[in-house]
Amino acid sequence: MIEIDGSAGEGGGQVVRSSLTLAMSTASPVIIRNIRARRSNPGLRAQHLAAVHAAAAICGARVEGAAIASSVLTFVPGALRPGDYEIDVGTAGSTMLVLQTILPALSLCRAPSQILLRGGTHNPRAPTFEFIQHAYLPLLARLGYKAGVSLERHGFYPRGGGVVRAAIEPRRPSDSLDLLERGPIQSRTARVLISRLPSHIAQRELDVLRSRLGLPQHACGIDTVTAPSAGNTLHVCVDCINVSTVFCGFGIRGVPAETVAGRVADEVERYLAAEVALDSHLADQILLPLALATGGRFSTLTPSGHMETNAAVINRFLPVDYERLERGAKGWEVTLRTRRPPQ
């Protein structure tokens, strides 16, 4: 039984999700203690339980402690079972985080799987559908993962109600990742997504992005959708020869549209100035699939607390070495390689 301290490092829900993925993928039983102990609402919440139940379903796991506010979770996985699954988060909790939990494990199966997810699709503090589709999955494809997603209905906080379908194929052999240079920029686009809100909000956000990032009119657009809740997200996609990166912002009640867009522009400018391949979010989220694949190296901004915590959890399950080297003004180089057994 591998023991994980859920309060160590960043101490959030990512510790739970990464532990579940690794437990399924390595057939290792795990017990997680002190779950989110330093949070204002400690223990498991609904969105974490959705990941627990989804993980248990695809491997027939024995689970103890799967309840709201539980601080201890025991997860004993069985054999992975590809197939058709329906997963309902039950709230506006992120369907994308649930998908990230089960995708690497299902990719180890010898047959494909079809997943129907219901819940939130565009949530603050979680990757959006667009991030998964245009940045995360294409990068995973370089590691041999093969998955696709389609969005049937948007789901914003607080009602959720979004619907996403995912198709996951068996992972193919691949070379180790070598992604130190993003290559020349091919395109930069900005799109604002809005539901049940005045259109001037979206236009003001686009005006800021166009001005700050020098985007032409044809590279910007507004998508008006119908969803159970009002919502507003904005995305800037930077497509380079070697990688695509998606930057996300969320409209928040009481925060001016100009401020929301300005924060996104800040992120984009910071990324472009550093001349690195991966932004902080993509670097953090690729670490676990990279460890389960062939390892490799990439350049990124200063490693986040999420990444450091993720690396520590991975090291409890897999014999991998996590190294990071500062490259001065050009960010950091991160390497993940399989540790060779002693001779």
One-letter amino acid at 284 equals D
Return the closest-CA partner of residue 216 out of 191, 238, 188: 188
**Strand, helix or coil for residue 89:** coil
**Ramachandran region of residue 164, left (φ > 0), alpha (ψ -120 to 50) or beta?**
beta
**Strand, helix or coil for residue 34:** coil
Element (H, E) at 58: helix 46-59
Residue that is written with structure tokens 């039950």 in the block: 90
Sheet containing 231-240, strands listed edge to edge, beginning at the edge strand earlier in sequence: 220-224, 185-195, 231-240, 244-250
Return the closest-CA partner of residue 142 out of 242, 2, 13: 242
CB 190 within 8 A of CB 235: yes
Return the closest-CA partner of residue 25 out of 318, 297, 315: 318
> In the structure encoding, which two tokens stand for residue 237, read together?
């996609």
Which is catalytic among the residues 48, 154, 235, 306?
Answer: 306
Sorted by sequence, the CB contacts under 8 Å of residue 117 that are 6+ apart come out as 87, 88, 89, 95, 98, 99, 163, 164, 165, 166
- Decide if 306 is catalytic: yes
Q: Which residues have a catalytic role annotated?
A: 306
